[in-house]
A and B are shown apart, each in its own frame.
Chain A
């Protein structure tokens, strides 16, 4: 396991201000970039134009010659799209402290590879050979990083969360605010049930096995709330041992990657509709990026795999409602409550945490605000259109291009997951944390299945209609 150096003298800087967060955290950069693109798209649309030209995406093809013809016809658009992404993401990366001269070459490689995977996914035989872009991107990345290893020059461009958060903000433009208001409360109820039960199972199993309570809480939130982000947030809030945070992260990553492949496979075998499967994945996956890979994969089955009902977007929509609205937004509350319990009830450590309710806002995943804002802005723009006009004008001119951009960012993220996951570097987790976490996984998956298919099944089915 890597150790960490103390701060170098050159880093002795003034304590960061709260306003500095606006340029120092990738959540905010996801908002600036995502909402910036939405604003440009709306401006062009309002003036009779569209960002369609630059939001280029591969179309269905049957033979390599078709794909080559597409590339030839739209080469300039793909080059312009690269410039757009390189500029917007590059500015964000530079603000985060990643050198632009190192980010851009890495990003060029990722863009080209993501483009190739995107093209492959549009092959009319792709579904027949299980070549869904998220799984191909992930599988290829995992293969490279765990065999020959991803080259070091590529690392500055492998920003999974930056890409996925930008994509989630853009996804807001495709989810009507009315849908979020309609399905959000159900998602919150379902997610709350599963989160509390899963946390309880992991926490009490871990404590019963004799593990440290801070490790138990870090494992519990990693499994119950928001995966690696949950583990790192709670680890800090309760002042966990560094090795314990590493253990939780390793377990979450391994199980999350297993679930990317397992959940779509199981849902496909059970012929679940896309809405129901998305809700199940949203309940039982551990991380946003991993869950979106699974949900997008399953959405791709709609219309391509016999017996899978619902539309392609429903899986991602249900997942996002369940995971982002139902689980992610509560991480600050979990951190506040557990920090309070740690300081007042658990055994003392040499380091004393200070607990205050401001923790809830400080740890709030701010990109969710961008997701909601994008949805609200598109709702305002579409207000004057009836359903037929919305489908005929707003979707092709405004919403669909933004969703094409979202698909690009998700593909960058899926590729980056695989290329950053080096199993050999993970902490040795030990048997007891593994048992506790796996118990939680088992309960989470079963309970998530029952709630998604039986208790709220009809509701999630409606989402895909």
Chain B
């Protein structure tokens, strides 16, 4: 498993804590047209899944990858986008 280890703590971290991961319901509904028509990003079936902006995948919050980047106000700076990932910002419709 290629789980990224945060800093020197050697503690396994997951997508839930990664700055490239977005599981905000309003953003998820904006990203998937049609989702709010017959389902919802606030539904239990969605668990804590979110979009990974680096890999352009919809992943569960407990997933891991080698591109993990810790969240934090001081270090919020997006890495260059992966090929084909333009990462345009979606307006959160309710906020």
A180 to chain B minimum Cβ distance, whole angstroms, is 21
Q: Which of A1-49 contact B (CB under 8 A)?
A: 1-7, 9, 11-12, 15-16, 21, 24-28
Q: A4-B31, A363-B47 are in contact. Are A26 and B42 (CB under 8 A)?
A: yes
Given B25, B35, B45, B65, which contacts A363 in the complex, CB threshold below 8 Å? Answer: B45
- Contact indicator B40/A4 (Cβ below 8 Å): no
| Given A240-B57, A287-B39, 18 more pairs with CB closer than 8 A | A3-B31, A3-B85, A5-B22, A7-B22, A155-B94, A160-B40, A232-B39, A232-B43, A232-B46, A237-B60, A242-B56, A246-B34, A249-B39, A286-B38, A351-B57, A364-B44, A365-B43, A367-B44
> A331 contacts which chain B residues (CB < 8 A)?
45
Min CB distance, A73 to chain B, in Å? Answer: 37
> CB within 8 Å of A: which of B1-54?
1-3, 14-17, 19-22, 24-28, 30-53
Is the CB–CB distance between B25 and A96 below 8 Å? yes
Residues of B within 8 A of A364 (CB): 44-45
CA distance A2 to B33 in the complex (A): 8
Q: Which of A51-59, A60-68, A393-401, A416-424 contacts B (4 or more CB under 8 A)?
A: A416-424
List residues 410-454 of chain A with CB under 8 A from any CB of chain B.
417, 420-422, 425-427
Q: Is the CB of A3 within 8 A of B88?
A: yes
In the complex, the answer to whether B33 meets A422 with C-beta atoms within 8 Å is yes
Task: Quote the shortest CB–CB distance from A410 to chain B (angstroms).
Answer: 14
Question: Measuring CB to CB, which residues of chain B are less than 8 angstroms from any residue of chain A?
Answer: 1-3, 14-17, 19-22, 24-28, 30-53, 55-60, 62-67, 71-73, 76, 78, 85-90, 93-95
Residues in chain A near residue B52, CB distance under 8 A: 351
Is there contact, CB below 8 Å, between B42 and A420?
no
Query: A351–B30 Cα gap in the complex (Å)?
Result: 23
Residues of chain A in range 350-396 having any CB-CB distance to chain B below 8 Å = 350-354, 359, 362-367
Tell me whether chain A's interface is mostly helix, strand or loop, or mixed: helix
Q: Which size bracket describes the interface of A in this complex?
A: 35 or more
Bound together, the chains give a CA A1 to CA B64 distance in angstroms of: 26
A447 to B3, CA, bound (A): 45
Listed by A's residue number, 17 A-B pairs whose Cβ atoms lie within 8 Å are A2-B32, A4-B22, A6-B20, A97-B94, A102-B94, A162-B40, A229-B38, A229-B45, A235-B58, A245-B58, A250-B34, A352-B2, A352-B3, A354-B63, A362-B48, A365-B44, A426-B34
CB-CB < 8 A to A155: which residues of B?
93-94
Partner of A233, one of B42, B45, B64: B45
Residue in A7, A228, A363, A425 whose CB lies within 8 Å of B39? A228
Q: How far is the CA of A286 from the CA of B37 in the complex (A)?
A: 12
A325 at the interface (CB under 8 A from B): no
B38, A26: Cβ atoms under 8 Å? Answer: no
In contact, B86 and A287 (Cβ under 8 angstroms): no
Q: Say whether A277 faces chain B, with CB atoms less than 8 Å apart.
A: no
Q: Which residues of B contact A128 (CB under 8 A)?
A: none
A99 interface contact, C-beta 8 A: yes
